Structure formats: C-alpha cells, structure tokens
Amino acid sequence: MSTTDGSAPERTAHDTGEKGAASGRDAIVRAARRAFTLKPYAEVTMRGIAAAAGVSPSLIVKRFGSKEALFNTVADFGAAADALFAAPPPELGRHLVLTMVDLRDRFGGDPLLRVVFSLGIEDERTLLRSRFREQVTDRLAAALQGPDAALRAELIAGQLLGLGATLSLHRPDGAGAQAGAERLADLYAPGLQRLVDGA
C-alpha cells in the first residue's frame, strides 16, 4: 500500500507543540486515519497503528487514550472546514478551490476525500459520514442564502470531493497536477460560485 493516498493528515490546533512531539503526533494521526479508513473498526489495533507510525503503543495511549478516542480525533473535518469556509459568500467559490489545493499540497493528501472511501461500509466508519454531514454540509447550508440551501450545500460538497478525487486520480502526470491553483480556480470556481449564489 502506498502512503500517497487521498487521506490527508491535516493538522489541528494540537499540532503546535514542539517539533518532535508534533511530528510523532502527525505520524500517529496519519496511520490511524489510514487504518480506520481501510479496515473494519474491530480489526484496527493500537499496536498496528503504532507499528505503522513507528512509535510505541504506549505513546499512543498516553497521547490519545482509547481506540475510540483516537478514532474520534481522526474522524474530524472541522479544521478543514474552518479553512475552506473562511471567505464571504461572494468570494467563496474561488476561495474553496485555492484552499483545497493548498490543503492538499501542505498535507500531502486530501482533507475530505477519505469520507468517500468509507462509502458502502456499515460499521463505526459511518461516524465519518455523519461527521462530514455535520461539519461540512450542514455548516455550509447554514451559511447559504436563498432557496434549496441544503441541496446546494450537498452539491458544493460534491464538487469539492470531486476536485480532490480527480486530482488524486490523474496524478502524477495529469493536467490538473501540472496546472497552477489559479488556473484550476479559473476553470472550477465558476460552477462552485453559481451554487453558492443559488442563482
């Protein structure tokens, strides 16, 4: 399995500690995110995550507590949503594209796409989907004016997931990988903006 997947280790406020501690935390979060995305919850072990992260199991317990607590930490889209939605509605379309590209670059993966990997799997990973709906779709719907806000928010979320999916799918040599963020925004933002405007 490759580490160049779509599940980004986007950071949270907790990551601002000393560098060594932060990178250990990053490695644990990245390994946990991957394990919880690809395996049934019952098959994920702290020992396995520790091995993948190159740390001791006791360090994970010390820093995150239980397996459930670790799962709750990684099944969180709040930090990505904060960054993505930090623009007023008239500028949101372009901001969404530029921020998505920036988050993907900075964290070596996609901040949202892992929710798609969990589709069709009915176990604790459904929490990932309800978190996404709460933290991304519902939050966006509440910020939209005009009719069909819930539907438009779902479609905006779809375009964001689709942008990440197509960039991941066509790399490393695809046209999207070669294009700059501004060119991607020129092409992709108008459709998003139209959904934001609802007109």
- Cα separation, 151 vs 195, whole angstroms: 9
**Does residue 151 touch a second copy according to CB under 8 A?**
yes
SS3 73: helix
**Cβ-based neighbour number of residue 158 at 10 Å:** 13
- Cα separation, 54 vs 28, whole angstroms: 8
**Does residue 179 touch a second copy according to CB under 8 A?**
yes
SS3 144: coil
> For residues 99 and 182, is the Cβ–Cβ distance under 8 A?
no
**Does residue 73 touch a second copy according to CB under 8 A?**
no
Q: Which member of 44, 116, 140, 196 binds a second copy (CB under 8 A)? A: 116
Restricting to residues 11-70, which ones interact with a second copy according to CB under 8 A? none
Q: Which member of 5, 36, 64, 95 binds a second copy (CB under 8 A)? A: 5
Cβ of residue 173: shortest distance to a second copy, in angstroms? 10
**Does residue 142 touch a second copy according to CB under 8 A?**
no
* Among candidate residues 118, 84, 104, 44, the one with its CA nearest the CA of residue 196: 84
Q: Which residues bind a second copy (CB under 8 A)?
A: 1-2, 4-7, 113, 115-117, 119-122, 129, 132-133, 137, 148, 150-155, 157-163, 165-170, 174-176, 178-179, 183-184, 187-188, 190-192, 194-195
